[in-house]
């Protein structure tokens, strides 16, 4: 690559990859691939009643929250509605929402945010 770091990269939440990117390419912006996250949400919540509805609503919140305030409000409503606020996977995803929620990435162009 001519000794130039990438401007941006999408990864699948692998902590080792994140550490390597931060160490080797400190100026590279890295975010998480939404495709992997949405797939993981379905797998992690599969044992919940109405898990298909949860997946649909999660997708709607992720892609159709056009302001940061709207996302935060919609996410909190979602947690209360389905009682998934104590789910470790969901909590971790929210903690890192700045890495994968489109409205929080409004200063970068990510072309659908999929690395597949």
Summarised one tens digit per residue, pLDDT across range 84-115 is: 888 888 888 889 898 888 888 766 655 554 44
Model confidence band, residue 1 (pLDDT cutoffs 50, 70, 90)? low
- Mean pLDDT for the stretch of residues 63-92: 91
Angstrom CA distances, 41 to 37, 44, 79, 89, 110, stand at 6, 5, 13, 8, 21
Which of 26-30, 33-37, 78-82, 83-87 is most confident?
78-82
pTM score > 0.85 for this model? no
């Amino acid at each position: 690559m001519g000794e130039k770091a990438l401007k941006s990269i999408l990864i699948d939440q692998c902590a080792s990859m994140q550490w390597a990117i931060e160490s080797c390419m400190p100026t590279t912006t890295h975010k998480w691939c939404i495709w992997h996250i949405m797939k993981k949400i379905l797998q992690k919540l599969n044992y919940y009643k109405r898990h298909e509805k949860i997946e649909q609503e999660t997708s709607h919140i992720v892609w159709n929250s056009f302001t940061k305030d709207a996302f935060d409000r919609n996410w909190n409503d979602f947690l209360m509605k389905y009682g998934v606020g104590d789910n470790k996977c969901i909590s971790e995803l929210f903690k890192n929402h700045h890495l994968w929620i489109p409205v929080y990435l409004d200063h970068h162009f990510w072309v659908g945010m999929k690395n597949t």
